[in-house]
Structures are given as C-alpha cells and as structure tokens.
Amino acid sequence: MLQAEHLWTPHEWQRDAAVGQGTDTLRARFALPGMPNLHSHAFQRAMAGLAERRGPGDDSFWTWRETMYASASRIGPDQLQAIAAQLYVEMLKAGYTHVCEFHYLHNAPDGKPYADPAAMSRAIIAAAREAGIGLTLLPVLYMTGGFDGRALSDRQKRFGLSVDAYLELVESLGAHESERVRVGVALHSLRAVPETAMREVLAAASAFSPLPSERRGAPRRMRVRPGRGSMPIHIHIAEQIGEVQDCLGMRGARPVQWLFDHADVDGRWCLVHATHLDDAELRAIAASGAVAGLCPTTEANLGDGLFPLANYLDARGTLGIGSDSHISVSPVEELRWLEYGQRLVTRHRNIASRTPDASVGEALWGAALQGGHRAAGIAEDDVRADFIVLDDASPLLAARDERSVIDVFLFAGNAPLVRDVMAGGEWMVRDFRHRDEARIAARYRETVEALAAG
C-alpha cells in the first residue's frame, strides 16, 4: 500500500491519500500516477548508441534503419525476452508503469514463420510479466516495402505476414489477455500496408468495439478481449518528409489526410509521430480523439522534425509519449524535450501549459497520462494501482511543495527522482532497485555479448 502526504490525481493534489492494498505500506511525501509508454520497439534497445558514427554520405533516418535492420536480424525469442525484460525494468525505474509494444519482428531470421507463429509475441509477454510492467501488445501488420507495393527486402521478411496469418496471430494472443496484458492491432505505416489489407484489419478490430449491436458482426470476428473496451489501433504516420512526398505522389494526399479519408479515425487510434501536419490535418486529429504518439528523443535522434505542439494543444488534441527506439528510456526526458523543442523554435517559454499560472510539468504529465491510457486501451474509469514515489531525500525537493514539485521533477533533475514504483498494485521498485534487476541484467549482458560476438 502507498500512504502519500501529497498524491497528484490529475489535475489536483490529494492530502494523506492511501492507494493500493497489502500490508507492505510505504510512506511517501510526493507521489503521482505512473506513466504509460505508448510506443516501444523493445529489440532496438540492444542497438542504442551504435548508430552514432558518421557514414560515408549524409546520414539520415534511412541509413539508421539499415543499422537497425542488421541488428534485428540475429534476435530470436530468447534474445528478445532477455532484451525486453531488461528494457522494461529500466522503464519501471524511470517511472513508466505500462508499455505499448509495437511488435513486428514476427518471423525467424530466414524470414519463415516460427513453428509457433506467436513465439516472438510470447517472448514479449513473458518479458513484461518478469519485469512486472503492464503491457498492451500490438502485433504489427507489415506487408510491403513502400507505397508502390514493392515486395519486402530480404531484411524485412522477418516482419511480413499475410492478413490471414496476422488476424490469426492477434486472435491467438487473446488467450494471454488479463488485467495486465492487453492486445491491440497495429499497421506499421501506410507504406507497409496496402489499402485492402488495412480495411480488413480495421473491420476485424471493430468487431470488438463496444459499439451498438447493429454495428457489430464485421466480416471476421476475433475472440480477443471479450467484454473489454475497444481495441487500440496504432500506426506510424508522417514521421519523415520523404514519406509525406511519397504518399502525395502515389496516393494524391498527405498521409494523415489520406488516412482520415479512408478510415474512421477515432479515440481508438494512436497516430505515432504525426510530425509533419498541415493545419487541416492537425485539426482533424485533435477533433477525432485519436492520440498523437510523440517520441521526442527518438524523433530528435533520427532527425524527424518537430511536432506542432502549441497549435495542437490549442485545438484540444490528445497526446502521449513513447520511447520508441529507446535511445533514451525516461518519461522525464521525453516530456522535457517535447517542451524544449518548442521553446527553441518559438523563442518563448512555458508552451505546454496553455492557461496562465498553470504548471508546465503538471500539464505535460497530465496530458501524457491521459493520452497514454487511451492509446493503451485502458478506459478512463479503469483504476490503475500504478504510482511513482519521488525521492524525499533529494536536495532538489527541499523547500518544494505541491505547486512546484512536478516542475522540479521534469525540469531540474539529472539523476532521476523516481525512488519507488508500484505497478499493478505491487512494489516493483523500492529504493531505486527493481525486485529482480540483478538476474535480468545479468541475462541481458550475456545475451548482448553473444550477439556482439556474432
């Protein structure tokens, strides 16, 4: 149980609040809800820092992608579980209590399906259980190598599934659903999914939405998440200018515009990155209730561009944060850079809070919580025993109170201020240490050393 002198329940502070159950009571001065991480490719953690050396030409997102593909090619289920478990421990220690895993590494390294087509998905589920983080598993449909419908390259063959194989995978994963493990659907990107395939998957996903009964019974039913809320739908979109240009050239519309013209985009959707938007696209996303899935440290690392935050917030858009490639694993850093990117280009301060006297830290943490839960498929009335406790002993928190503590947490620290983390009602991190971190880190080290040795 957590007994907090000051508990932030967006958007107000409660005094002397008790949350969670059990006799293992922890007293704390400042606590706040744990953050959902709405976008992760776990395997990429094992290459963080290995693409920061200049190549022969101009480096870009596309040259980084080749390095990423090469590192993916040697990872099987055991390696994936070891890497993901270590990553998820790091996430918990940083203050993330739930992760949406955008998972497309389905096939064996030779591009053929594993004997169990869900082998890689099950590795992710096992890793989340070991670490104790909540999971929304998003198996990804990936079919083509570009807008022109070209076949997958050899390195992309590990990602490829037919629509039928994909829907079977999603359906089979339903057996693993629980309070802590949810399943959604994902389309890798417009360039990787033909329009007809997109329609089939969306029809199947809608069969699970809590819609009026006459709208049920879409072409194909999946027995995933009976009785739960609607199924989240994630897609990468408009991250790179090259992608916007290709979409304009091949489909006659910008990516976000094309998506809104061809799908019922609503609050089930998470549009990952959505970096390059015109005004109409920005307003369409905001009005739809879809979540803009922002990954500022990855977007910076890959040279994607800057999301138009102020206009989007003024249009009452919903957003959340993800650590994506895991070049950094910290909600503090994502939110700090989300705000700082805007300060640097606008030459103004305090962008994320749109009302006078409102705390920027509270605005950022509150917005990303709301959007993160929505993207994870966690309903607003679904109470989560997911909390983080800040380190009372840090000199940074001396003489700080409710008014300033979240701003200090997000903007003033270098050493993380997250001391304890409750996830799913259990203390997974106490005094900066995760319950099982030594074992999980040792296995990660062995795994990465073996991968590096080839």
437 binds, among Zn ion, ligand NGQ, none (CB under 5 to 8 A by kind): none
> Which residues, 6+ apart, have CB-to-CB distance to 235 below 8 Å?
186, 187, 188, 189, 190, 259, 269, 270, 271, 272
Structure tokens at 439: 């074992």
Which residues are near ligand NGQ by CB under 6 A? 41, 65, 189, 236, 239, 298, 302, 324-325
Of the candidates 45, 143, 47, 42, the residue with the CA atom closest to the CA atom of residue 100: 42
Looking at 103, 273, 276, 434, which residue is catalytic? 273
3: helix, strand or coil: strand
Q: Is 324 a catalytic residue?
A: yes
End-to-end CA distance of the chain: 46
The residue number whose beta carbon is nearest to ligand NGQ equals 41
Of the candidates 33, 31, 34, the residue with the CA atom closest to the CA atom of residue 15: 31
- Residue 316 gets the label, from left (phi > 0), alpha (psi -120 to 50) or beta, of left
226/230 Cα distance (integer angstroms): 10
**Closer to Zn ion by Cβ: residue 40 or 86:** 40
Looking at 304, 324, 386, 407, which residue is catalytic? 324
> Which residues, 6+ apart, have CB-to-CB distance to 154 below 8 Å?
111
What is the closest distance, in whole angstroms, from the C-beta atom of residue 140 to ligand NGQ in the complex?
A: 8
**Closer to ligand NGQ by Cβ: residue 236 or 336:** 236
Structure tokens at 193: 């999914």
Structure tokens at 47: 């290459």
What is the closest distance, in whole angstroms, from the C-beta atom of residue 51 to Zn ion in the complex?
A: 15
**Closer to Zn ion by Cβ: residue 239 or 339:** 239
Q: Which backbone phi and psi does 267 adopt, to 5 degrees?
A: -65, -5
Structure tokens at 183: 């399943």
**Closer to ligand NGQ by Cβ: residue 145 or 366:** 145
What is the closest distance, in whole angstroms, from the C-beta atom of residue 239 to Zn ion in the complex?
A: 8
The distance from CA 214 to its chain's CA centroid, rounded to whole angstroms, is 33
What is the closest distance, in whole angstroms, from the C-beta atom of residue 239 to ligand NGQ in the complex?
A: 5
443 binds, among Zn ion, ligand NGQ, none (CB under 5 to 8 A by kind): none
Contacting Zn ion within 275-334 (CB under 5 A): 324
What is the closest distance, in whole angstroms, from the C-beta atom of residue 298 to ligand NGQ in the complex?
A: 5
What is the closest distance, in whole angstroms, from the C-beta atom of residue 156 to ligand NGQ in the complex?
A: 8
Q: How many other CB atoms sit within 10 Å of the CB of residue 248?
A: 15
**Closer to Zn ion by Cβ: residue 304 or 324:** 324
Determine if the peptide bond prior to 262 is cis (ω within 30°).
Answer: no
430: β partners: 433
**Closer to Zn ion by Cβ: residue 324 or 420:** 324
Q: How many other CB atoms sit within 10 Å of the CB of residue 298?
A: 22
Which positions lie near Zn ion, rule CB under 5 A?
324
- The residues annotated as belonging to the active site are 273, 324
